[in-house]
Structures are given as structure tokens and as C-alpha cells.
Amino acid sequence: MKHRGERPSAQADASVSRRQKTLRTLHRLRHLLALGGIGLLTGCQLPAVSGQPPGEGASYPAQPTTDVLTGPVAVARVVDGDTVWVKTEGGESKIRLIGVDTPELVDPRLSEVECFAREASDYTKSTLTGQLVYLESDPTQDSIDRYGRRLAYVWTLDGRLLNFDLINEGYATEYTYGTPYRYQQRFRDAEAAAAAQERGLWSPKTCAAQR
């Protein structure tokens, strides 16, 4: 069964060129955004509302009420930037983050570790290791991907959305598989902001230098 939120295996060999193409495109947009457009994303924020981390403003997704979330569940271990294991009543479950594509760290189909993969993995480890999290499903996406991984958004107990933070801090690119998902526009805005401000993999000193 096809799934949404995960790159098909047939496209694995094209993952590097896809990311480089995205880097080139957003590098050009970065200069336009820096002239004033980025203010629409980050400069005109509204006061934080209940349930949002302070200082994030209207651009940061608000955490849903806990009655529609799963958890809290304990994080068992982190595989890489966008894949983690959590402990559930039925044992451990592997979670693939929706809407996020971090550089590949452990994919055996690739001949080398992708640029910024270790940094993305370390970011997720530092955020989630030893923590409890909430899982949010999305009815617009399949619940399980072709590899048996549950597709979800991962929220920390203090209201942080890991999926968003990975993109916003420059550790990941936004990724849509087939069908738009709940936070798609917010994730795309976060990617544009990260590129405009040259954070993480968008920096000329890291992966952007490969464009």
C-alpha cells in the first residue's frame, strides 16, 4: 500500500539531487525575502496564544488538546533526524515524522552520509532522548507507511513541535508525499525563513555550498 509522508524507495538515488535543486531554488528566493518579504513570515508576529511556546507568535503551530493526541509516551531511541522509536502499551513503535525530510544518515541504499545528516540526528537526540512526547496523527495521510512505521507529528510536553523545529532551524526540508497535510503551509513558511536566514543546511558554509 502506498503511504504518504515517506519518499518511495525507487526515488532514493535521486534524494541528493532533489535536495540540491531545492537548495538552489531557495537560495535565489532568499535574497528576495531578505528585501522585505521575510517580514511576512517572522517580522510581524502576533502575541503568543495559549498553548504556544512564548515568543513564537502566530507562525508556530498550536498544540492540539491532549484528548486528540496519543500519549504521553516515552522515547526509546532516535534513529536519525526524522525517525524515532517510542514505547507504547503494545511494545515499541517506530515513528516517521510527517512533512519532514532530514538528510539521510543510516540509509543502506546510499553510498555515503548526506550533508548535515549527523547534525540533524544530534538535534533530534538532544531534544527527545529520555523525554515523554505526544503523537499526533493526520487523517489526510496514511497512518502506517510501507516500512511499517507510524506517521505522526511529535510534540514535546512543553508544546514544541519537533517536525516544525527541524525545518525552522535548518536541519530538514519540508516534504510532501502526494497529498497536502495539516501543517504543510506552516512547514513551507518555516523552510523559506530558514533558507532566507541561512540556518543549518542552508548556510553557505554547509550544504548550500554544494549548490
Residue 135 has pLDDT above 60, yes or no: yes
Virtual CA dihedral for 38, 44, 48, 51, nearest 10 degrees? Answer: -40
The 10s digit of each residue's pLDDT in 118-132 is 999 999 999 999 999
Mean pLDDT of the 99-110 span: 79
Read out DSSP for 178-199?
SS--TTHHHHHHHHHHHHHTT-
Q: Does domain 9-44+61-210 sit in CATH 2.40.50.90?
A: yes
Is residue 211 annotated as a catalytic residue, yes or no?
A: no
Residue pair 175/7 in contact (Cβ under 8 Å)? The answer is yes
Q: Does 96 participate in catalysis according to the annotation?
A: yes
Strand ranges inside 40-156, DSSP E? 70-80, 83-88, 91-97, 100-101, 132-136, 150-156
Annotated catalytic residue within 4, 19, 30, 104: 104
How far, in whole angstroms, is CA 125 from its chain's centroid?
14
Q: In the chain, pLDDT over 90 holds for what percent of residues?
A: 63
Q: Is 149 a catalytic residue?
A: yes
Catalytic residue among 96, 160, 182, 186: 96
Q: pTM for the complete prediction?
A: 0.75
Domain positions in the chain are 9-44+61-210
**Residue 109 dihedral angles phi and psi, to the nearest 5°:** -75, -15
Q: What is the mean pLDDT of the chain?
A: 80
Q: Can you give the pLDDT at residue 203? A: 95
What is the rounded CA–CA span in Å between residue 57 and residue 42?
9
Set 149, 160, 182, 186: catalytic member: 149
pLDDT at position 50 is 35
For residue 67, how many other CB atoms are within 10 A of its CB? 5
